[in-house]
C-alpha cells in the first residue's frame, strides 16, 4: 500500500512539467488521479501514464482561469473519483517583459492563470472537503515570489500572492481538517522554462548556490509528503526547493 492509497487527487496543469510529475508520483503512491489542463490531449497522456500504476486516472479539459470551466472540471472529477481529497494548484504560465512596456493584457493573463485559478479551484473543492472534515490543498508558488526578478514583475506578484493566499486559507480551513500549504520551486528544467530568454536563464543559473537547475522529479516527493498522513503537521508552510537560491 502506497502513502496515498485510497486518496483522490486533482492536479491542475498536469499535462506536462511539474504537474505531470506530481500526478505520476501520486499514482505511484497509490492515489486515484484527475488531471485538469487546457491541453486535453496532453492531459490524457498523463492520465494514461498514471493508470499504468493500477489506479484510476482521468483527464479533463479546462481553462482554470475561467469560473465555468473550473466548476465543470471539478464537478466531473468528483463524479469520476467519488470525492476530492487533495487538490494541487499547479497550472501556470511564464512570460517576460519590462514593466514599462508590459501590455495590460499580459499582466491580466498572468494574474488570471497563475493566481485567479488558485482561488477558483480552491473555492470549488472546499465545500466537499469541509463536509468530509478532510482535505489537502497544495499550491505551487515560486522562489520568485520571495525574491522577484527583472522583467517578471507580473509573475513574481502572482506567486507572492499565492504565498499570502496559502497562509490565509490555511488559518481559515485547518479547523475543518483541511491543510493548505505551498511549494516554492526554484529554477526547474521544464518545457515552460523554454519561454524564458537565454540571457535571463544564464543569470538565474549563476545565482543558484547549488550550481544547477532542478529537475521535476525533485519537486514531486514534497507534494507526496504534503498530500500524505506524514504531512499532517504542515499548515500554511512554504516549502522552498530551490538549490539555495532563496534561504528562508
Active site residues: 155
Q: Are 216 and 21 in contact (CB under 8 A)?
A: yes
Strand arrangement, sheet containing 57-61: 57-61, 32-37, 8-12, 86-89, 135-140, 178-185, 238-241
d(CA 127, CA 88): 16
Residues in a beta bridge with 214: 188
- Can you state the angle between helices 40-51 and 17-28, rounded to 10 degrees? 20
Q: Are 15 and 36 in contact (CB under 8 A)?
A: no
Give CA angle at 245 (114, 203), nearest 5°: 85
d(CA 247, CA 240): 8
Residues in a beta bridge with 59: 35
Q: Which of 119, 221, 93 lies closest to 180, judged by CA?
A: 119
Amino acid at each position: 500500500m502506497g502513502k496515498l492509497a485510497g486518496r483522490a487527487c486533482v492536479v491542475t496543469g498536469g499535462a506536462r512539467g511539474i504537474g505531470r510529475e506530481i500526478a505520476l508520483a501520486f499514482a505511484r503512491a497509490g492515489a486515484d488521479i484527475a488531471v485538469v489542463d487546457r491541453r486535453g490531449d496532453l492531459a490524457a497522456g498523463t492520465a494514461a501514464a498514471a493508470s499504468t500504476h493500477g489506479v484510476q486516472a482521468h483527464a479533463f479539459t479546462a481553462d482554470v482561469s475561467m469560473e465555468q470551466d473550473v466548476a465543470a472540471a471539478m464537478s466531473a472529477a468528483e463524479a469520476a473519483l467519488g470525492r476530492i481529497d487533495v487538490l494541487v494548484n499547479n497550472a501556470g504560465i511564464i512570460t517576460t517583459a519590462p514593466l514599462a512596456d508590459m501590455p495590460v493584457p499580459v499582466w491580466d493573463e498572468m494574474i488570471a492563470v497563475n493566481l485567479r485559478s488558485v482561488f477558483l479551484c480552491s473555492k470549488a473543492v472546499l465545500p466537499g472537503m469541509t463536509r468530509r472534515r478532510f482535505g489537502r490543498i497544495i499550491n505551487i508558488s515560486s522562489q520568485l515570489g520571495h525574491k522577484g526578478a527583472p522583467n517578471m514583475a507580473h509573475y513574481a506578484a502572482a506567486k507572492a500572492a499565492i504565498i499570502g493566499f496559502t497562509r490565509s486559507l490555511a488559518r481559515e480551513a485547518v479547523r475543518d481538517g483541511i491543510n493548505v500549504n505551498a511549494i516554492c520551486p526554484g529554477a526547474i528544467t521544464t518545457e515552460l522554462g523554454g519561454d524564458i530568454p537565454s540571457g535571463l536563464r544564464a543569470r538565474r543559473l549563476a545565482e543558484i548556490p547549488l550550481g544547477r537547475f532542478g529537475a521535476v522529479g525533485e519537486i514531486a516527493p514534497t507534494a507526496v509528503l504534503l498530500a500524505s498522513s506524514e504531512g499532517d503537521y504542515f499548515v500554511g508552510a512554504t516549502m522552498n526547493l530551490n538549490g539555495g537560491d532563496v534561504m528562508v
